[in-house]
Amino acid sequence: MSTGTYLEWLLVNTKTEWWHDSADPSELRLGLERGAIGVTTNPFLSAVTMARNRAFWAEAVEAVRAANLAGEPKAEELVRHVVTHAAALFLPHHRSTAGRMGQVCAQVNPSKAGDRESMLAMARRFHAWAPNIAVKLPAVSAGLDVLEDCVAEGITATATVSFTVPQAVAIAERCRAGRRRAIKAGIEPGKCFAVIMIGRVDDYLREVAKDNQAAVSEADIRQSGLAVTKRAYGIYQQRGYEAVLLVAALRGTYHLTELAGAGLVMSIAPGPQEWFVNQDHPREERIASQVPADVIERLSTMPEFLKAYEPDGMTPGDFISYGVTQRTLCQFVESGWKLLEELR
C-alpha cells in the first residue's frame, strides 16, 4: 500500500478537494483532521445531529424553547446553531486561505423552493451568521434567480438539489451574471458552488430503467451519474466558468476515483470517507477517461437520461418537475425541516 491514505494522495497530488458531509460534532472534527476544506449540511443532516446528540445541543434547544419559537423561525434557529458550530471550526481555514476554503453550507427552507422573496431574505440572514457561510439554494428557476442576486450582493452560494448538466450550466451562467453585476457595483462577488448529486442520478435512473424495462444493465446505470458529471466538468473547463462543481451523494468508490484529478470539490460523508482512508485505490487521475460510447448509447434510449445528460435537455422551468428533484426536496422537507420544526 502506498504511503498515506487515498484522500491524502488526492489532496496533495491532484486538483481535487473535498468537503465533509455531516453536521455531527465529533464527525466534523474527524473531517478536519482528514483534510476536509469545507462542510456540507442540509436540513436532514441538521435534524439527524439534533436527534442523535441531544446532550450536545441541549443548550441550543432550550434557548429556542425559551424564546417561544415555532414553525419556520424555530427550524431556522436550530439550523443556525448547527451551522455556526461547524463554521467556527472551519473559520481558521477560511481565514488562512483568504476565503478560498473553509465554507460551511446553510440551506434555506426547502418548502420555499418557488418563493424568491422568502429565499432571498433567508439567504441574507444566513449570510450574516458567519464570514464563511455558503447559502444553499435549490437549483430550480426561483432558486437560480436568488443565486444570481446573492452572488451580485457578495453572498457565497451553493446551488443544491441539482443532478443534471443543464442545471450545472444554468448555475454557472447565473453565477457569471451575478459576478458581472457585483463588479459593476464595486462589490466583491460571492463565490458559487454547483452541486451534482451524482449517486441520486444513478438511484433515479435505476428505478426509471426498471419501470420501463429499458435495455440497460446495472453496469450502465452505475456510470450514468459519472457521465453527467464528466460532461458538466468538460463544459465548465471549456467555458472557463467561475462556479466550482461540488459532487455529492457518493454511492461507491468509483464516484471519486473516476473523477480524481478534476478541479472540483467532492462532498464525502463519514461512512464513504472510510472507503478512502482504510482502503487503497489506484492512484491515478481518471477525469479524462470518458464513459464508453456504447454505454452512453444505451443510456440515451431513456428520455430521463437525456434530460440529465444533454446541455439543453431541460430548461430552468423544467428543473422543479424532474423526478429526482421532487424526491429530494420532499426528503429535505419531511425528513429534515419539518422534524426541526417539531423537535421537542
114 neighbors 167 (Cβ within 8 angstroms): no
- pLDDT, tens digit, 9 for 90 and up, residues 190-217: 999 999 999 999 999 999 999 999 999 9
Query: What integer is the mean pLDDT of 79-101?
Result: 97
Measured CA to CA, the distance from residue 90 to residue 101 in angstroms comes to 9
Neighbours of 154 (CB within 10 A): 15
pLDDT for position 308: 98
pLDDT for position 2: 54
- Is residue 1 very low, low, confident or very high in pLDDT (cuts 50, 70, 90)? very low
Enter the pTM of the model. 0.97
Q: Which of 130, 128, 104, 108 is nearest to 28 (CA)?
A: 104
Q: Is the pLDDT of residue 171 over 70?
A: yes
- pLDDT, tens digit, 9 for 90 and up, residues 15-37: 999 999 999 999 999 999 999 99
Q: Which of 286, 141, 158, 166 is nearest to 228 (CA)?
A: 166
Q: Is the pLDDT of residue 3 over 90?
A: no
pLDDT for position 97: 95
pLDDT for position 170: 98
CA atoms within 13 A on the CB side of 325: 26
Q: How many residues does the chain have?
A: 344
Q: Is the pLDDT of residue 255 over 90?
A: yes
Query: What integer is the mean pLDDT of 95-122?
Result: 97
Q: What does R_g of the chain's alpha carbons equal in angstroms? A: 19
- CA triple 96-178-331, angle to 5 deg: 80
Numbers of helices and strands, H then E, in the chain: 18, 8
Q: Which long-range contacts (CB under 8 A, 24 or more apart) does 174-178 make?
A: 174/144, 174/145, 174/147, 174/148, 175/147, 175/148, 175/151, 175/241, 175/242, 175/243, 176/241, 176/242, 176/243, 177/148, 177/151, 177/152, 178/147, 178/148, 178/149, 178/150, 178/151, 178/152
Sorted by where each starts, the structural domains of the chain and their CATH numbers stand as 6-336 (3.20.20.70)
Measured CA to CA, the distance from residue 79 to residue 75 in angstroms comes to 6
Query: What integer is the mean pLDDT of 60-68?
Result: 96
Query: What integer is the mean pLDDT of 129-135?
Result: 98
- CA triple 314-317-323, angle to 5 deg: 65
Run of H or E including 19: strand 17-21
- pLDDT, tens digit, 9 for 90 and up, residues 283-324: 999 999 999 999 999 999 999 999 999 999 999 999 999 999
How does 235-258 read in b/e, with b if 16+ C-beta sit within 10 Å?
Answer: ebeeeebebbbbbbbbeeebbbbb
